[in-house]
Amino acid sequence: MRHTCGDSSLNGLFRSRRAITELWINTSDLDCGKPQDKYGVIGLDRPALPSFVLRELKGSCEIMSKRPNIRAGVVSPSTSSILGADDDAASGSIGDQNHIRLGIAPLVANPSLRDLAYDAIKNAITGMDIYGSPEEFRLDERQLSQDLGVSRTPIREALTILEQEGFVRTVPRRGVFVVRLSKQQIIERITVWAALESMAAYLAADRASARELRMLRKLFEEFERAPDSEHMHEYSEANINFHQTIIRLGDCQLLAEMSANLLIHVRAIRNVSLRQDNRAERSLSEHMQIIDALEARNGELAAQLVRQHTLGLAAHVDKHGLFS
């Protein structure tokens, strides 16, 4: 015979003895020896329960009353026989009287093809020399599909996300292009980066370990003097790594997330600027001063030097940048 209840959520809740058992355990006011209200629990104003639920509740109360180790809100090891073998397997072993350990396996990461395509395309754009040439960079959806070995659907989905984030733009009847910012937009992003990285340097002076700071200095060991044209690419990579490392050593997740999407354009501009007006030589000297301040645990000075260094890049772009 099918029983119905006016409250459908209650009807689902009390379908098993385990649910009723848990209701009894977690209700400190329930007294099996005294008349209860129509819900079966003192102090709760709910509709009357169907008779089959009341019978189950009564039977559970009789079993529970014989278990001295059961208290409201606490499940002791002896309760496992009441819950049943299936419930034991689902719940896992009980560590103590205040909590249980669930018998669950670690989650296995299963990123979608869209996410994988998004990461691959974004990483490729990050490594591009966007401002090293006046030409626009158009992305071929079909070629991307072939290169990544997936259909065009996840490619389109990934490009949609990248467009929402401001990394690419769609031009009707022409295709998808990597975004190139105007000079003013670039200067604004460098200014924001200066604020974020200077705060990271301030935090890193206190939070970074001596070993981490030694690794920061090691980035430039092979560049005792300004790099020549043959080694400019290597120095450019060390330069970007230096600034990313300062952000990381600040040990502030939100700060790192805020700076992540600025990196694509700041990185590309740094790569171009190092080849202009002897900036590589000045950059190396300024990096060493920043490292000295960090090793001295002088957060105020480190933050000031980082801010001046990055705002110097903004001034350089304003003077030498050939952008619209």
160-206 per-position pLDDT tens digit = 999 998 889 999 989 999 998 888 998 999 999 999 999 999 999 99
Query: What's the mean pLDDT when you consider all of the chain?
Result: 74
Q: How far apart are CA 256 and CA 184, in angstroms?
A: 24
- Beta carbons within 8 Å of 247's beta carbon, 6+ residues apart: 196, 197, 200, 255, 256, 259
Chain centre distance of CA 252:
12
58-85 per-position pLDDT tens digit = 555 554 455 444 443 444 444 444 334 4
Question: Would you say 177 and 169 are in contact if contact means Cβ atoms under 8 Å apart?
Answer: yes
Question: Would you say 178 and 128 are in contact if contact means Cβ atoms under 8 Å apart?
Answer: yes
Cβ atoms within 10 Å, residue 233: 13
- Beta carbons within 8 Å of 308's beta carbon, 6+ residues apart: 286
196-212 per-position pLDDT tens digit = 999 999 999 999 999 99
Identify the weakest region by mean pLDDT among 7-16, 118-127, 153-162, 253-262.
7-16
DSSP track, 32-79: TTS---TTSSTT---PPPPHHHHHHHHHHHHHHHT-TT-BTTB--GGG
pLDDT exceeds cutoff 90 at 226: no
pLDDT exceeds cutoff 60 at 50: no
Output 88 or 299, whichever has higher pLDDT. 299
Question: What Å distances lie between residue 258 and 116, 127, 316, CA to CA?
Answer: 22, 19, 24
Question: What average pLDDT does range 311-320 have in this prediction?
Answer: 87
pLDDT of residue 40: 45
Count Cβ atoms within 10 A of the Cβ of residue 239 and give its class: 0-12 exposed, 13-18 middle, 19 or more buried.
buried
Instruction: Read off the tokens for 321.
Output: 């940048």
pLDDT of residue 322: 59
Which of 136, 134, 137, 129 has its CA nearest to residue 275? 129
3-state secondary structure of 108: coil
Q: How far apart are CA 128 and CA 132, in angstroms?
A: 9
| 52 pLDDT tier (thresholds 50, 70, 90) | low
Return the percentage of the chain with pLDDT > 70, whole number: 60
Can you name the residues that pair with 71 across neighbouring β-strands?
Answer: 74
Question: Would you say 293 and 216 are in contact if contact means Cβ atoms under 8 Å apart?
Answer: no
Handedness of CA 137, 143, 147, 148 (dihedral sign): positive
pLDDT exceeds cutoff 90 at 278: no
Alpha-helical regions (H) of the chain: 8-13, 17-25, 51-65, 80-83, 85-91, 113-126, 141-148, 152-164, 183-207, 210-218, 232-249, 253-260, 263-273, 279-295, 299-320
Output 312 or 281, whichever has higher pLDDT. 312
297-310 per-position pLDDT tens digit = 999 999 999 999 99
Q: How far apart are CA 63 and CA 234, in angstroms?
A: 75
pLDDT of residue 280: 74
| 104 pLDDT tier (thresholds 50, 70, 90) | low
Identify the weakest region by mean pLDDT among 99-103, 157-161, 173-177, 224-228.
99-103
